[in-house]
Structure 1
Amino acid sequence: MSGQRLGTIIGLELTQRTRSVAWYVLLGVFALLLMIVTGLSFLAWGSVPEPGGAISSTIVYITLLLIVLVSPTLSGNAINGDRDAATLAPVQVTLATTAEILLGKVLAAWITGLAFVAVALPFLVVATLAGGGSPSTITVSLLVLVFEVGIIAAIGVALSGILSRPLFSVATTYLVVMALVVGTVIAFALVGFTVRSEVTTHYRSLDYGDYTGDSYPCAPGETPSDMNPCDDDVELSCGEWTTSTYEVPRFDHVWWLLAANPFVILADATPTEFGPEGYPRDLFGQIKYGVRAAQQAPELETRYDDCAPYQQGDQPSPREVVDQSTPSWFVGMTLQLLLAAGLLWWAWARTRTPAGRLPSGTRIA
């Protein structure tokens, strides 16, 4: 692996990508969208204390969403597009190896995607300074964002080497990325509702009999007051215990399906800012809490007794749920790395020279 040859390939790719005016127009439109999102975020979150975390997390998520929508177009025809333009073969006959060509194109596509992250940086700085966001949270979220940009770039370049038609490889890149973003959520919901368990509920109610008073009888252990004007002159009897059953989905068995989702990885890996009552202050924490709460198994046997004094159960706060659950961001990153590495190996096998066999209609030079 030669650094000089790798740098030359990256330079050629970046020159080819950035010499078009459309590229700068795209960055300008992206900056305009982030400006609108930042303004709306200040208006939406301005009433909450220290809104910087909520604003910055919104900007990071919008940046990731736009990168997901744009990056497949920038990387999905990196190899087969050069083959159709008859510019790949002249590079292959040089001293550059197939691995250097692939890696150079991946790094160039990665750098191109990072331009969008660079455009988002000023808006994140504004959110941090004006809204009181945490620099550590923003730093970690940016590192995860950089990683996701690289994964999408690697998938696009790999598929452009595997598939012979640029349009088909771009479409397939979109499908693979959407499978990670949307497909994981659909699989989580469908499989979670398919895997069900039976819940048994025991219930005993109060027997009001023929009570016709103007108020209502006091329940056992309940005393009348100004706020609760119940009638304590009536002695209520307890009804019979009844038992009913119903089924609940077991999302705690399938929560791992969300591990490879880029938006879940971003939320799960980023440190969460909690308020005084233990509730998250930003989108990262809210999504993390939703995923971690899915790990909690439901109660399969419940009991409700109207004849017993009501006691408020201790419900764990979102902070306690997050602290007591299992992080999955490193598993998701590992799965994405394995996916990208496997596709790149396949692309290397399809692109290496001399080629033993090429698809019908493939242009060489």
Structure 2
Amino acid sequence: MSTVDLHEPPTAAVEQPRRLTWHGVSTVARLELIQRLRSSRWKIVLALWFVGVGVICLLITTATTSMTSYSSNATPIGQWIFGMNVFFILFMGLLVTPSLGSTAINGDRNGGTLAILQASLLSSWEIILGKWLAGWTTSLAFLIASLPYIIWSLAAGGVSVWSVIVVVAVMMFILAVVCAVSVFWSAKMVKTATSTLMSYFSVALVSLISLLLFGLGLVVIQHDTQVRVMQPSEWSPTTGNPTACEPVTTTRTDLGMDYLWPLLAINPFVLVADSTPQHSEDMASVETPLQAIQVGVRLARANPVDMGWDSEWCNEDGSVVSQAEYNKRTETTQEDLAGAVWPYGFVFYVIAGGLALFGAERRIRTPVATLAKGVRIA
């Protein structure tokens, strides 16, 4: 009869392997997608998505055509249709995507199927990345269904193929990060309703609350400073233009946008607009919705101080400039704008997505020392 050495320490629990293989990731993603495809609801939702987006894009096209028909602006109508359709499709994508990964982990945990994956040869990274890949693939299905309406603008003219490629790639990247954050909340929270709520709150934080904080920040940070400048003192009775200048002390308002522009850089709509190639080399001529956002956010980063229309007439020595020079000073040229903000937004999203996936992997790593209240094993 065998004997047991009571002095021998117990064998430690075998830790779940942390290897990462494409076979493991694709297996989890395939299982997740097959489970979703078995339901007939996704077909109905996808069909409603295609029809709904098509109706809205058709209305946008009709409204844009009507407005431009009464305008003398020579901007091709395709640029307006492209910009409005892109914003609407991105908005709809941000509404749908959080729900695709917000129940990926806690839903399986509550159903008792997550423990089966954890007990297999799959590593925690393969499970998390497989769940994330399945959610991202599903979101891309909705984006692909919207591509005909984005390409629609090409027929109207004024939009390059490169612009379409860049916009689609950026939207795919944003949806990937949203899926990663949703998977994290699914692994973090016990209840599926709570994880879904936190996923939508994360999207609202970067898309809506960031704009609100920017606006409130302008009110809080702005301050007035006393400066001594040259201002007109005499005017021509015929032209009304200044003829002489004198030094005066006046108040200038600094909005402090150079401190607040990062709040705009993380906004998904700003990220898409600022990364889109411009259709015109003249940054001062804002002709499309994408250009308007791009010029606005780069101007905010430059934080221009309004010197007033009257000060633009005067030089530092008190001399008066010509009408042509005044017009040049009052125009917003490319030199007045700061650099692009989209690289900072990309870095933020990469860090946020990476931390979300890392945090989700930590939550399902086995063996588990302690479990949260209400969490089941199998």
Could you tell me which residue of structure 2 aligns to residue 215 of structure 1? Answer: none
Q: Give the aligned partner of residue 31 of structure 2.
A: 12
Residue 165 of structure 2 corresponds to residue 139 of structure 1: yes
Q: Distance in 2 between matches of 1:319 and 1:309?
A: 19
Post-superposition shift, 1:187?
1.9
| Secondary structure in structure 1 of the residue aligned to 2:97 | helix
Equivalent in the alignment of 1:329 = 342
Farther-moved stretch of structure 1 (305-314 vs 341-350): 305-314
Q: Specify the alignment match of 1:161 in structure 2.
A: 187
Contact 2:75/2:287 (8 A) holds in 1: no
Distance 1:56 1:296 in 2: 27
Aligned pair partner of 2:259 in 217, 233, 253: 253
Q: Which moved more, 1:134-143 or 1:288-297?
A: 288-297
1:314 to 2:363 alignment: no
2:108 to 53, 58, 82: 82
Query: Which moves more between the two structures, 267-276 or 144-153?
Result: 267-276
Q: What is the Cα deviation at residue 75 of structure 1?
A: 0.9
- CA apart distance, 1:77: 0.9
TM (norm. structure 2) is 0.81
1:279 pairs with 2:285: yes
- For 1:131 and 1:239, the matched residues in 2 are separated by 49
State how far apart, in whole Å, the 2-side matches of 1:280 and 1:140 are: 20
**1:265 corresponding residue in structure 2:** 271
Instruction: Please say if residues 7 and 104 of structure 1, whose CA atoms lie closer than 8 Å, have aligned partners that are also in contact.
Output: yes
Equivalent in the alignment of 1:234:
none
Deviation, structure 1 residue 239:
11
Q: Which digits, 9 at most, give the CA deviation of each residue in 1:57-92, with x for residues without a partner?
A: 222211111111111111111100110111111111
CA distance in 2, matches of 1:30, 1:153: 19
Contact 2:258-2:303 at 8 Å conserved across structures: yes
Aligned-residue offset at 1:98: 0.4
Equivalent position to 1:67, from 83, 86, 93? 93
* 1:124 partnered with 2:124: no
Q: Judging changes above 3 Å, is the alpha-carbon distance between structure 1 residues 252 and 84 closer, same or farther for their aligned structure 2 residues?
A: same
Amino acid across the alignment from 1:357: T
Query: Residue 305 of structure 2: which of 272, 295, 299 is its match?
Result: 299
Counterpart CA distance in 2 for 1:108 and 1:187 is 33
Q: Does 2:321 correspond to 1:344?
A: no
Per-residue CA deviation, residues 84-137 of structure 1 (Å, 9 max, x unaligned), is 111111111111110000000001000000011101111122221233421111
How many angstroms does 1:321 deviate by? 5.4
Structure 1 residues 53-64: aligned runs within 5 Å: 53-64=79-90
Deviations 1:149-197 (A, max 9, x none): 1000010011111111111111011111111111221222222322223
Normalised by the length of structure 1, the TM-score is 0.84
Question: Any idea what the Cα deviations from partners look like across 1:250-274, whole Å, max 9, x if unmatched?
Answer: 2133212211111111111110112
* 1:204–1:242 CA contact under 8 A, matched in 2: no
- Could you list the runs of 5+ residues in structure 1 that have no partner in the other structure? 207-218, 229-236
State the match for 1:40 in structure 2.
59
User: For the structure 1 residues 264 and 240, does the alpha-carbon distance in structure 2 shift closer, same or farther, using more than 3 Å as the test?
Assistant: closer
Match of 2:294 in 1: 288
Cα deviations across residues 308-331 of structure 1 (Å, max 9, x unaligned)?
Answer: 687434247566258x42112121
3-state secondary structure, aligned to 1:254? helix
Could you tell me how far apart the structure 1 residues matched to 2:132 and 2:202 are? 17
Deviation of 1:205 after TM superposition, in Å, equals 5.5
Q: Structure 2: which 5+ runs fail to align? A: 1-19, 69-73
AA aligned to 1:134 is S
Number of residue equivalences = 342
Question: Would you say the 8 A contact 1:158–1:343 is kept in 2?
Answer: yes
Compared with structure 1, are the counterparts of its residues 17 and 317 closer, same or farther at alpha carbon in structure 2 (3 Å cutoff)? farther
Contact kept in structure 2, 1:45 and 1:55, CA below 8 Å? yes
